[in-house]
Structure 1
Amino acid sequence: MSYVLGIDLGTSSLKGILMSQEGSVVTTKSANYDIDNPKQGFSEQKPVIWVEALEKVLTEISQEVSDFGTALSGISFSGQMHSLVVLDENNTPIYPAILWNDVRTSKQCQEIMSKMGDRLLEITGNIALEGFTLPKILWLQENEPKVWARVKKIMLPKDYLGLYLTGNIHTEFSDAAGTLLLDIEKHEWSKEIADTFNISMEVLPELVESVGQIGTVTTGIKDKFGIQNEVKVFAGGADNAAAALGVGLIDEEIGLISMGTSGVVSSFESKFTNYDGKLHFFNHTVPQAYYSMGVTLAAGNSLNWYKETFGQGKGFSELLSDVNTVPVGSSGLLFTPYIVGERTPHFDSKIRGSFIGISATHEQRHFSRAVLEGIQFSLRDSKDIMESAKGKTFKYLISVGGGAQNPDIMQMQADIFNTEMIRLTVEQGPGLGACMIAAFGCGFYPTLEEVTKAFVHYQLETFKPIAKNVAEYEKIYQIWKQVYSATKNLSHQLVDFNDGNLK
């Protein structure tokens, strides 16, 4: 028996999943940690807490699994994207990691787009947003010049754990793509971008494929956790890329719908496609491949807000129990899930959500269904961009997250997307993708396709579009799409009024 370990470094916790080489879960462990918010808009963590969390997880796994120390063959990672880690000449962090959800860098984003414009899209496939790494570097240069002067290497969070385990500094293409410093088509750091913003190429880590080996576990780490054999360590992937691999997104005819706090629509891409900034575009964990990604900022978050605000103490099951008694289109009631702004396709931080078409005949069940439909309509925006730009139709979509647990939502997705929907037997998240990378890297399987067959399993039950519902949803979706432009000016005025900026 040989094991692989996937380490998923999230924003609020680190999870470890130990799997056999045949693809079965042996055990999972996790450790939580906090986010520091020293100022409004700031979101930081000290990298040492990630190491402490990893040590806790490794200790618990080694204590539970008797042959862990002799059967562990490979380790890989998935991790939160974009967050900036800066090291000095001793590979010691010299500033808290600035996280992906930190929004202090609006000014720097404007500077990047002013200097690079369309050229940034041509090189990186993305526009500058506060979450990306490059704006954080510019902020550090401007606001902490003494710190920046000491920086010898920049890293992404999961790669700091790779350094801890192996003593080596690397990153891989899926995470590097989220920095706005990678030429994603040439698979190399962009000297043009680095030079434009006075970033030495020397501070950028060596690039490897996600499945590339970055070293072996050091003797000191092996002794600490009772590991007796040589353990190979592989680069891994950004969390979204690893999650895409972990659900089997390795074919252009397959798409992924993820309904968590935010909503994500992902598509496998075999070659570079310029979506004009309407979608995120990154390198995949699959070598020489990519994935596109659209984001609804408040998917599950909208549903949770609705439950907490109007649910009268009901749980989700009770609140949504009668949505199937409401006709398609919620009897003329629409909801837009823009309660925290929106990402795809509008990139508008000041748009706000709305219920449109409220009448005296509407009951709570209509509002419940309208919220669900509005979330799916927003996700469809991303799917439609992918299909129209590529001239393709998805054969089926894999649904994960909260929506995949509800048959009514699954059928709603099938009807609104007009695509067959499938779901996993068990969801393991990005950590499963990390395990798959390690299994391939260790040579347990000849291809990632073979790894997918062994590690990823789907339920037999699928949800197919109902023709009558598809036709009705097409009509209501065309109306729903008009709500953004109809409410944009009003939303912006209301936000400015609330912020005291309305003149």
Structure 2
Amino acid sequence: MYLGLDLGTSGVKALLIDGDQQPVASGHGPLDVSRPHPGWSEQDPAHWLEACEHAIGELKASHPNELAAVRGIGLSGQMHGATLLDRDDHVLQPCILWNDTRSHAEAAMLDADPRFRELTGNIVFPGFTAPKLVWVKANEPEIFARVAKVLLPKDYLRLWLSGEHMSEMSDSAGTSWLDVGKRRWSVELLAATGLDESHMPTLVEGMQPAGTLRAELASQWGMQAGTPIAGGAGDNAASACGMGTVGEGHAFVSLGTSGVLFAANSAYLPNPASAVHTFCHALPQTWHQMGVILSATDSLNWLAGIAGREAGELTAELGDNLRAPSGVTFLPYLSGERTPYNDATIRGAFAGLAHESGRAALTQAVLEGVAFAFRDSLDALVSAGTRLERVTAIGGGSRSLYWLKAIATALGIPVDVPADGDFGAAFGAARLGLIAATGADPFSVCTLPATSRTIEPDAGLAQAYEEARRRYRALYPAIKGVSA
């Protein structure tokens, strides 16, 4: 058996798979986000440990023998979070999360230093880890002075599980401290933020062992002490391992809290001006590019909360047949936007509202707005040298057939839907745990799932969608000066 642990924003998932990579059982521990000020987003790392204990406790209660048979563990986690520890590994303050934008001025300052784009291959986005530390240095100097280690969220989980300060390439590429082409910490970039390599965890590749399970926890869960823990991956790279998106030309579109258009590459192809993320992949000598939308299903959930309905109820009102855009346009910038604008202060909007614009029209506009945001990411990927012929859909939003049809039509390429199964980040993490424990060939383990159906672009609505997208694109510059 192999165990994948995925530390997400809304919870920790624990997934058991067998030696044939078949899911056996899963457990879940919930998490909440604290937003004490506008633009802030935090979590207490102690809650991650509680959620992990809850998730593994569910597995122990339902599948104790299978849990006892685990021979490898893999980790996945939300990226970019700044978990600050003192020399005794005590947490100094709540973790500043990936969608926290308080350090937008510090990010702009670092991004103005040409070394950051040159060495990391990326814009320094406000959500990345390095500007968060510059913000802490400027606003909480007494805390900054006590920082001995900076860990990403999943690597704090590893510290608790194993006692080791370790990380891997895919997650670390999102800090703005990694030389992404050379796959190592940059002494230059660390020094530019008042840090050095002693503040960083040791680096391995995602499928290499990075610590072993502590005896105390092994005894508590009925597991084997010394079970190897893989380096793991950031959540998107872990999902890619779960989906088999590890070879050149493979891509997926993820409809989660945030939205991601992810393409695997066999070479390092940075183009930071496009606002595309270029990160190390979880497997050696592989990289990936991503366009990122900060509010994907979050946009639909926001509307559902206002409407007093479940998100599924709203999409069900539209049926399965794609409709022509109604003239109502939605910009999904509820938390700012990354690709293609790198704008932390922009905010969302509806435009084109009329007396006849009912709930269904607003829902349709939200789905279309997110679809057009994915098209922005596709255009950015193309400008960065990546061309896609098709994508595979994952994430909770992919359960909406209507939304998938809208995305296929907006992108102008087919969207494949995988056969039933669990191919997400926890599954990818479990695959990495399997490789770390057995030494299996990564590319023979991280294979593509079977496709259950393919959603083709609606040719009859292509022109209407293109006209709606032009309206969508014209709105960003129109509202930029009044939305901050």
Shared fold (TM-score, shorter chain, > 0.5): yes
* Structure-2 change in CA distance of 1:439 and 1:315 (3 Å): closer
Q: 1:284 aligns with which of 275, 281, 292?
A: 281
Q: What residue in structure 1 maps to residue 135 of structure 2?
A: 139
CA distance in 2, matches of 1:37, 1:339: 14
Q: What residue in structure 1 maps to residue 27 of structure 2?
A: 29
Decide which structure has the larger Cα Rg and report it. Answer: 1
Which deviations, in whole Å up to 9, do the C-alpha atoms of 1:80-115 show, x marking residues without a partner? 21112233333333443333233332342243234x
Unaligned runs of 5+ in 1: 496-503
CA distance in 1, matches of 2:44, 2:311: 36
The CA deviation at 1:178 is: 1.3
CA distance in 2, matches of 1:368, 1:328: 13
SS in 1 for 2:452: coil
Contact (CA 8 Å) 2:117, 2:124: kept in 1 or not?
no
Q: What residue in structure 1 maps to residue 329 of structure 2?
A: 334
Q: What residue in structure 1 maps to residue 461 of structure 2?
A: 469
Q: What residue in structure 2 maps to residue 304 of structure 1?
A: 301
SS in 2 for 1:92: coil
CA distance in 1, matches of 2:123, 2:452: 40
SS in 1 for 2:454: coil
The CA deviation at 1:306 is: 3.3
* Structure-2 change in CA distance of 1:226 and 1:325 (3 Å): closer
SS in 2 for 1:457: coil
The CA deviation at 1:476 is: 3.6
Please list, as runs of the form range in 1=range in 2, the aligned pairs for 1:180-195 lying within 5 A after superposition: 180-195=176-191
Percent same amino acid at aligned positions?
A: 33
1:484 aligns with 2:476: yes
Q: What residue in structure 2 maps to residue 375 of structure 1?
A: 370
Q: What residue in structure 1 maps to residue 117 of structure 2?
A: 121
**Root-mean-square deviation over aligned CA pairs:** 2.7
Q: 2:84 aligns with which of 83, 86, 95?
A: 86
Q: What residue in structure 1 maps to residue 216 of structure 2?
A: 220
Which deviations, in whole Å up to 9, do the C-alpha atoms of 1:279-323 show, x marking residues without a partner? 1221111222122222222322332333444x4757634654346
User: How many residues are matched?
Assistant: 482
CA distance in 2, matches of 1:94, 1:76: 26
Contact (CA 8 Å) 1:323, 1:368: kept in 2 or not?
no
Q: 1:389 aligns with which of 374, 377, 384?
A: 384
Please list, as runs of the form range in 1=range in 2, the aligned pairs for 1:298-447 lying within 5 A after superposition: 298-309=295-306, 311=307, 313=309, 316-317=312-313, 320-322=316-318, 327-330=323-326, 332-358=327-353, 365-390=360-385, 392=387, 394-424=388-418, 425-443=420-438, 446-447=440-441
Q: What residue in structure 2 maps to residue 173 of structure 1?
A: 169
* Structure-2 change in CA distance of 1:144 and 1:480 (3 Å): closer
- TM-score, normalised to structure 1, is 0.87
1:161 aligns with 2:153: no
* Structure-2 change in CA distance of 1:213 and 1:327 (3 Å): closer
* Structure-2 change in CA distance of 1:374 and 1:165 (3 Å): closer
Contact (CA 8 Å) 2:99, 2:335: kept in 1 or not?
no
SS in 1 for 2:279: strand
User: What amino acid is aligned across from residue 343 of structure 2 in structure 1?
Assistant: D
* Structure-2 change in CA distance of 1:242 and 1:156 (3 Å): same
CA distance in 2, matches of 1:22, 1:303: 36
CA distance in 2, matches of 1:377, 1:39: 30
Greater shift after overlay, 229-238 or 298-307? 298-307
Q: What residue in structure 1 maps to residue 253 of structure 2?
A: 257
Greater shift after overlay, 71-80 or 6-15? 6-15
Greater shift after overlay, 42-51 or 399-408? 42-51
Q: 1:13 aligns with which of 11, 14, 34?
A: 11
User: What amino acid is aligned across from residue 398 of structure 1 in structure 2?
Assistant: T
* Structure-2 change in CA distance of 1:104 and 1:308 (3 Å): closer
Contact (CA 8 Å) 1:326, 1:365: kept in 2 or not?
no
SS in 2 for 1:76: strand
* Structure-2 change in CA distance of 1:380 and 1:141 (3 Å): same
Greater shift after overlay, 60-69 or 404-413? 60-69
* Structure-2 change in CA distance of 1:187 and 1:16 (3 Å): same
Greater shift after overlay, 422-431 or 62-71? 62-71
User: What amino acid is aligned across from residue 377 of structure 2 in structure 1?
Assistant: S
User: What amino acid is aligned across from residue 400 of structure 1 in structure 2?
Assistant: I
SS in 2 for 1:461: strand
Contact (CA 8 Å) 2:67, 2:222: kept in 1 or not?
yes
The CA deviation at 1:184 is: 0.5
1:55 aligns with 2:47: no
Unaligned runs of 5+ in 2: none
Contact (CA 8 Å) 1:233, 1:438: kept in 2 or not?
yes
CA distance in 2, matches of 1:315, 1:127: 33
SS in 1 for 2:71: strand
The CA deviation at 1:325 is: 6.5
* Structure-2 change in CA distance of 1:159 and 1:204 (3 Å): same
SS in 2 for 1:426: coil
User: What amino acid is aligned across from residue 306 of structure 1 in structure 2?
Assistant: L
Which deviations, in whole Å up to 9, do the C-alpha atoms of 1:304-348 show, x marking residues without a partner? 333444x47576346543466674233x44333234433221223
